[in-house]
Structure 1
Amino acid sequence: MGLLVDVPLLGQLTAFFPAILLAASVFYFCALGLYRLTLHPLAKFPGPKVSAFTGWYEFYLDLLGAPRRTFAFRVQRMHEKYGPIVRINPHELHVSDPDFFDVLNAGGSARRDKYPPSASVQGTPDGIFGTVGHEAHRRRRGAVSGFFSKQSLLRDEHLVHDKANLLCNVFRSAMDEGRAINVRVPLLAFGTDFYCAHALGERGNMHLLEDETKAQVWRDSIVGLLHVTPVVRQFPWVLPYAFGLPSWFIRWISSDMALVVDVFTDILKQAEATVDESKRPKAVDKGRSNLMDTILASELPRGEKTADRIAQEGFTILTASGDTLGRVMTTAIYHLHCNPEYLARLREELKEMMPDPDADVPLTKIESLPWLTAVIKESLRIAGLITARTVLQAPSECLKFQDWVIPRNTPVGMTTSDLMLDPAAFPEPKRFDPGRWEPSHPLYAQSTRHFVAFSRGHRNCIGLNLAWAQMYIALAKILRRFELELFDVVRERDIDHHRDCFLGEPRDDTKGVRVKVLGLLE
């Protein structure tokens, strides 16, 4: 005997199903929002109710609102209204207090995991930057820390000089042709070419300094990649998925992204070849100056030495190295030429050390120059490049901020650009003042304590030794050799940040920081 079915009733239920589904969805959404506002562990923390209610607020400001990519600046206004700790989305807190930085970014025995949305922005979950877990990060970083040491750098110091001399050739060509150049492009090329030579060897060399058109295309591609980061924060699968798509399809979507994917593919092929070579007898030598060989020669388990993971490591550092340094040096050149008294003092210091402007002076001598060091530190500070918040979790302890107890494993973010431009830490933060880095300055100790350009703790910048060396040598050579003049540069348009693309980006109508090379210095 079969089941009796009331066909008319079933038809009515089917007809009402969309309405029932909609009503259930609205009820769930409202109930979830009510829970987040009242019973959630973060419900007690200050902040706008809309941020506590839904994460779509951040999505809207970064991806749909006009102008886009501005949620980071909305967070600044939240702090102005609600205080130094705010709840910026249903799951995450943000702190704006320089004294809390060392608590969140603790070293030693403290454990800090990286919040997955914060770790995903480069699309390399198996690279050091994209590693979420504390222990996995410690192992992976430890395997290559020697490669980024000062000792390793000094062995390859000649590469920095070689690339810096090629950089100077770009400036000389502009002088000979009487044209202005956007300095961000060759400076990015310099950082990229040095990294390729140092970490990837000749097979990975992009030769950007020898091809200005190629350098411009790579710069546009890096900017295109930066513009994708707000999307990746919301949809972490986007970049890893894109890296697996055919080049022709990516090129059809975005020519800028196509070059980035092609570079990742080239690095992956190099990693595959290196892994194959390592399987031959005596193929791996721990003394070789190559990032891929260093990983293969390390004590990491076999599963950590796959070509894909090695390629992710190489790609992460490649994309992180060039533009950041280029932007800092661009900032230095701009502000020095807006403050001729600072530039004159630096030139006197450089001339005393470098009577011959074309000499390759050892790094150990250049880094001993106090005013050059002060100029670089102030450029790092005022550039405030990283506008994206870095979000960490303390899996084994509750963190305390003032009178607030932050529950264990809560994602807590801080933004280094905000801290470096905090008037409480750096009075007149938007004024370029290298003098604040002189030991005789009354606020020198305070400035030093709050200088977090390379972060701190377990997750500080692994390439800081390389970064300092490149900035010292490149700026010394350029400013000792060439007389420059700014060409149609407007700070509000071409320098200041208006968009958060992980790095702060200027306005859409920027013309770049352009200079004319007037002549050679004696």
Structure 2
Amino acid sequence: MPSPSLSLTASASNLVCAAFVSWLLYLLAGGIYRLYFHPLAKFPGPKLAALTGWYEFYHDIIHRGCFIWKLQELHDRYGPIVRITPDELHIRDSDYYDELYAPASKKRDKYEGWVTMAGAPASSFATASHSLHRLRRSALNPFFSKRSVNQMESLIVANIERLCKRFEEAIKTAEVIRLDAAYMALTMDIITQAAFGETDNCLAEPDFKLAWKETVIAGSANGVFLRQFPWALPILKAVPLYVLQMLNPPAVSLLAWQHMVRAQVDAVIAENKAGEKSHGTIFQALLDSDLPPEEKSADRLQDEAQTLVGAGSETTAKSLSVITFYLLDDRKKLDKLRAELKSVMPTPDSPVSLTVLEQLPYLTAVINEGIRLMYGVTTRLPRVSPNEPLKYKDWIIPPGTPVSESNYFVHMDRAIFPNPEQYDPDRWLRAAKEGFRLDRYLVSFSKGSRMCVGINLAYAELYLTLAIIMSRFDMENFETSAENDIRIDRDLFVGVPKEGSKGVRAKIVAGL
């Protein structure tokens, strides 16, 4: 007669085997469903992508930011619409962008499984629901209106003047300037002053607080991980930073970013309670708004601040870096811009207004072409039509399906932008002369009801910075190339250049 211990061991073994077999059957049934009975089963695409999200994981995590190139390959093979995960479709069609990223009259949710990557679930940016987003966005819109941004002109110019002082010092010392870091210090100081009433004073740092730029990129890179494992965020927040440093260094950057923002939000809330209002700032405006009390909690405002500060610094700084590099790389373009600027700024230190600069056609073309080659958020931005099917050509896309396009593919569409890798501001002047709305295909800020709230501030910074800097300083690119330091090599939510890039560097040769 077998002993009780042997019987228990056999029973446990049988349970393990049964559980394993059940798990295999579950996977098999799930695989059959996804391949043959899923609502997206008839859409073209690789079977492996239809079977498992690990397909995306492999190209985005193992090959670090290379899923965008796989998408390009899939469209070349399967056509303009492809099933790229078990539940998501991707479209490469520049003329369909406006339909997918539609205005508020057409309800579009964000994809719940995608917005987790922001690590700021209560922010407007990461709000999946169309209705809740409208509520949160309504409190931000007045501050970022064209009129409000025009009233910020003196704040923007004051910070540009601080950058000019640094450039004047660099002429004397022959220092090589990391332009991407310098411009990010500028945009960071502007957005933090606008948000909280005080700057981080990045422009005063010897290296322009390069660590902040690296933190934003690292935090964005960690977002790719969070998109695959959304349950990991609360765990990461609970792990001590020194342990996290060993396990996941990019996550440390993300949490450090959150801690920095939280301190500023807590300070604004404390001052508000004490009756010391920071009038004219974004977060004071949110506290004074008619949002319900739960929308003004410290946790909610921290998430809002994190995305606003990140988005309000990195992308505009990158546009300035791209534009400056290409102008210095082709002196004919730079000379043409300076000649136009001289018509409204007779001397390098002539005062000029934003409204005047916005009327200059070549400066506008220079800026639009730089924004095009900055791309904005290079990763896809899925949208969901919750109640109605979407129609794309002969395809009917079921309601609730995440569908995305990628800004990069629109801006590199050869049918719209011939020689798309080339920086060619004149293409915008030619299009205007021909009556062609080329700006319809400028999607760096996305489109529709979820369009970037900071678009007016970004343009103001671009117009004023380029006008002042290019009128006052002669610069030369220093050991920087388009291939290694400008063009994107990987998609980490924002596009980043090749590994080993030392950034966009220049020497400030002389004042003008």
The TM-score bracket by the shorter chain reads over 0.9
**Residue in 1 aligned with 2:261?**
267
8 Å CA contact 2:202–2:209 kept in 1: the answer is: yes
Structure 1 window deviating more from structure 2 (129-138 vs 144-153): it is: 144-153
5+ residue gaps, structure 1, are: none
Superimposed CA distance per residue, residues 62-88 of structure 1 (whole angstroms, 9 cap, x where no aligned partner): 222xx4221111011101110110000
Corresponding position of 2:482: 491
The residue number in structure 2 matching 1:357 is: 348
> Matches of 2:114 and 2:73 in 1, distance apart?
21
Q: Specify the alignment match of 1:201 in structure 2.
A: 197
Number of residue pairs matched?
Answer: 511
Equivalence for 2:162? 166
Matched, 1:134 2:130: yes
Query: Which residue does 1:503 correspond to in 2?
Result: 494
Deviations 1:481-518 (A, max 9, x none): 11111111222211111111001111111121211111
1:45 to 43, 46, 49: 43
Structure 1 residue 20 displacement after superposition: 3.3
Where do 1:361-376 residues align within 5 Å?
Answer: 361-376=352-367
Residues 323-347 of structure 1, C-alpha deviations (whole Å, 9 max, x = no match): 1111111111111222222111001
Match of 1:27 in 2: 25
Instruction: Measure the CA separation in 1 of the matches of 2:36 and 2:479.
Output: 53
Give CA-to-partner distance per residue, 1:153-191, whole Å, 9 cap, x none.
122211100111111222222221112222100001111
- Give the Cα separation in 2 of the matches to 1:298 and 1:307: 15
Report the Cα distance in structure 2 between the residues aligned to 1:165 and 1:255, rounded to whole angstroms: 35
- Provide Cα deviations, 1:442-464, integer angstroms capped at 9, x if missing partner: 66524222121211111001000
1:202-260 per-position Cα deviation (integer Å, ceiling 9, x unaligned): 2xx21000113361121221222122122121122444554555555555667775465
Letter in 2 for 1:223: I
Q: Deviation at 1:122?
A: 1.8
- Please say if residues 485 and 518 of structure 1, whose CA atoms lie closer than 8 Å, have aligned partners that are also in contact: yes
1:353 match: secondary structure: coil
Residue 235 (1) aligns with residue 229 (2): yes
TM-score in terms of structure 1 length: 0.92
Contact 2:376 2:445 in 1 (8 A): no
Report the CA distance between 1:312 and its aligned residue.
1.4
In structure 1, distance between residues paired with 2:429 and 2:464:
20
User: Which position in structure 2 is the counterpart of 1:61?
Assistant: 59
Picking from 176, 179, 198, the partner of 2:175 is: 179
C-alpha distance 39-376 of structure 1, shift in aligned 2 (>3 A): same
Residues 417-458 of structure 1: per-residue CA shift (max 9 Å, x gap): 111111122222112111121166566524222121211111
Distance 2:437 2:46 in 1: 32
Residue in 2 aligned with 1:299? 290
Cα deviations by residue, 1:2-34 (Å, 9 ceiling, x for unpaired): xxx987655433234434333322222122111
SS at match of 2:368: helix
| 2:386 aligned partner | 395
- Name the SS of the counterpart of 1:89 in structure 2: coil
Tell me, in whole angstroms, the C-alpha distance in 2 between the residues paired with 1:226 and 1:394.
26
| Identity rate, percent | 36
- Equivalents in 2 of 1:248, 1:12: separation in Å? 44
Give distance in 1, aligned partners of 2:34 and 2:365. Answer: 47
Structure 2: distance between partners of 1:372 and 1:239: 43
Calculate the aligned-residue CA RMSD, in Å.
2.3
SS in structure 2 at match of 1:379: helix
Distance 1:449 1:256 in 2: 36
1:340 is matched with which residue? 331
The correspondence for 1:457, drawn from 448, 461, 483, is 448
Q: Are residue 83 (structure 1) and residue 74 (structure 2) matched? A: no
1:405 to 393, 396, 400: 396
Q: Shift of residue 311 of structure 1?
A: 1.7
List per-residue Cα deviations over 1:248-302 (Å, max 9, x = no partner).
555566777546534433432343343344446x7669xx211111111111111
Q: Is residue 243–residue 264 contact of structure 1 (8 Å, CA) maintained in 2?
A: no
Query: For residue 23 of structure 1, what is the amino acid of its counterpart?
Result: V
CA distance in 2: counterparts of 1:24 and 1:412, whole angstroms: 33
User: How far is 1:381 from its partner?
Assistant: 0.8
Look up the match of 2:215.
221
Contact 1:267–1:314 (8 Å) recurs in 2: yes
For residues 115-164 of structure 1, what are the alpha-carbon distances to aligned partners after superposition, in whole Å with 9 as ceiling and x for unaligned? 02321222111111011111110000001110111111122211100111
The 1-side partners of 2:165 and 2:13 are apart by 74
Distance 2:271 2:439 in 1: 46
Moved more, 305-314 or 456-465: 305-314
| Alpha-carbon distance between aligned partners in 1 of 2:435 and 2:444, rounded to the nearest angstrom | 16
Given that residues 275 and 306 in structure 1 are in contact (C-alpha distance below 8 angstroms), is that contact kept between their aligned partners in structure 2? Answer: no
Name the counterpart of 1:18: 16
CA distance in 1, matches of 2:238, 2:342: 51
- In structure 2, do the counterparts of structure 1 residues 487 and 305 end up closer, same or farther at CA, with 3 Å as the change threshold? same
CA contact (8 A) 2:431 2:437 kept: no
CA contact (8 A) 1:144 1:291 kept: yes
SS in structure 1 at match of 2:214: helix
Bigger shift: residues 322-331 or 252-261: 252-261
**TM-score of the pair, normalised by structure 2:** 0.94
* Closer, same or farther: CA 438–69 of 1 in aligned 2, 3 Å: same
Distance 1:182 1:283 in 2: 38
